[in-house]
Amino acid sequence: MSQRQITFEILRYDPETESEPRFQAYCVPCEEEWVVLDALNYIKDNLDGTLSYRWSCHMAVCGSCGMMINGEPMLSCKAFVRDFPNGGSIRVEPLTHFPIERDLVVVMDDFMDKLQAVKPYVIPKKKRTVEDGTYKQTPKQLHQYQQYSMCINCMLCYAACPQYALAPDFIGPAALALTHRYNLDSRDHGRPQRQEVVAAHEGVWECSFVGACSEVCPKDVDPAGAIQQMKIASTVDWYLEHLMPWRRK
């Protein structure tokens, strides 16, 4: 069994007793197959029960465990210790751009509000009943939006986004990708309603297209691509409305 002693420098902060965050170091005997989350669990179970962080699935699907690991936003259950340089320590901090609630736990209120704001649900043309049966949707139509439906709400893209850092009102990558997901779904007719949110100042136009969101996304959602496509769509809308009003549906 190959074990490696690795030092983890972990941000600690308890708002009840501390005025600002500090770092605490823990030396952990790591197995070859371990991810950073395994090391955190080792610390919690064996070294220091007071460490707080979120996790559940340990399989990169619940989206709980996003953290800054050596400065990069990552899922700690998918960050293998073997991928970090030998001999160095690993620094673990809460996701940046969010207020810290405690230790590695961030306040998620803003993100949750933004998800809700984009109306992420099917808005049908006409209400369908069970007797009407399922919609027909070809594999091609499914493919149109499928990628954008893979978001696990891990918020890594918000931690990577320079624009969200500057303008916290910006709706941000994941919520915009989700908007796009419903806009592209053949069962949905809610784009005009969502368009108000998207075309507003805090919507797509805020994005400076750095593309950092798509780079860090663990699920290949490509929010940057979604935002780009929506900008084009919004531009087309504008032209239709202002230059060729008779063409508007």
Partner 1 sequence: METIESDVVIVGAGGAGLRAAIALAEADPGLRVSLLSKVYPMRSHTCAAEGGAAGVAGADDSMDLHFNDTVGGGDWLCDQDAVDFFINEAPKELTRLDHWGCPWSRDKDGRVSVRPFGGMKIKRTWYAADKTGFHLLHTLFQTSLQFESIRRFDEVFTTDLLVVDGKVQGCCAVEMRSGEMKQFLAPAVILCTGGGGRIFPFTTNGAIKTGDGMALAYRAGVPLKDMEFVQYHPTGLPATGILLTEGCRGEGGVLRNKDGYRYLQDYGMGPETPLGETVLKTMELGPRDRLSQAFWHEQQKGNTVPTKWGDCVLLDMTHLGEKKIHERLPFVQELAHAYASVDIVKEAVPIRPVVHYMMGGIHTDINAATPLPGLFAAGECACVSINGANRLGSNSLTELLVFGKRAAESAAEYVRSAAPKTDRAAADQQASAAEARVRALFERTEGAETMTAIRNAMTHTMETGAGIYRDEAMLTDTVNTLADLRSRRSGIALRDKSKVFNTEFTQLLELDNMLDVAQAVAVSALARKESRGSHQRLDYVERNDDTYLKHSMAHYQGEDAPRIDYLDVVITKSRPGVRDYSGAKS
Binding site for ligand SF4 (CB under 6 A): 151-157, 173-174, 177, 216-219, 221, 223
What's the min distance (Å) between Cβ of 111 and ligand SF4? 8
Among 47, 57, 167, 232, binds ligand FES (CB under 6 A): 57
- Of 30, 36, 74, 75, the one binding ligand FES by CB under 6 A: 75
Residue 77 touches ligand FES, criterion: CB under 6 A = yes
Asked if residue 17 binds partner 1 (CB under 8 A), the reply is yes
Q: Which of 36, 38, 63, 95 binds ligand FES (CB under 6 A)?
A: 63
Q: Tell me how far apart the alpha carbons of residues 224 and 226 are, in angstroms, rounded to a whole number.
A: 5
Pick from 64, 163, 179, 214: which binds partner 1 (CB under 8 A)?
64
Q: What's the token pair of residue 202?
A: 């805090």
Q: Which of 58, 229, 234, 240 is the binder for partner 1 (CB under 8 A)?
A: 58
120 binds, among ligand SF4, ligand FES, partner 1, none (CB under 5 to 8 A by kind): partner 1
SS (H, E, C) the chain: CCEEEEEEEEEECCCCCCCCCEEEEEEEEEECCCEHHHHHHHHHHHHCCCCCCCCCCCCCCCCCCEEEECCEEEECCCCEHHHCCCCCCEEEECCCCCCEEECCEECCHHHHHHHHHCCCCCCCCCCCCHHHCCCCCCHHHHHHHHHHHCCCCCCHHHHHCHHHHHCCCCCCHHHHHHHHHHHCCCCCCCHHHHHHHHHCCCCHHHCCCCCHHHHHCCCCCCHHHHHHHHHHHHHHHHHHHHCCHHHCC
Please select the residue that binds ligand FES; options are 40, 51, 53, 64, rule is CB under 6 A: 64
156 interface partner picked from ligand SF4, ligand FES, partner 1, none, CB below 5 to 8 A per type: ligand SF4
Q: Per CB under 8 A, which of residues 186..245 are in contact with partner 1?
A: 187-188
Name which of 226, 84, 94, 95 is nearest 150 in CA terms.
226
**Cα separation, 89 vs 210, whole angstroms:** 29
Residues touching partner 1: how many (CB under 8 A)? 62
For residues 4 and 187, which CB has a smaller minimum distance to partner 1 in the complex? 187
Q: Which residues bind partner 1 (CB under 8 A)?
A: 1, 14-17, 33, 44-46, 49-50, 52-64, 78, 80, 101-103, 105, 108, 112, 115-116, 119-122, 124, 128, 130, 133-139, 141-142, 145-146, 149-153, 178, 182, 185, 187-188
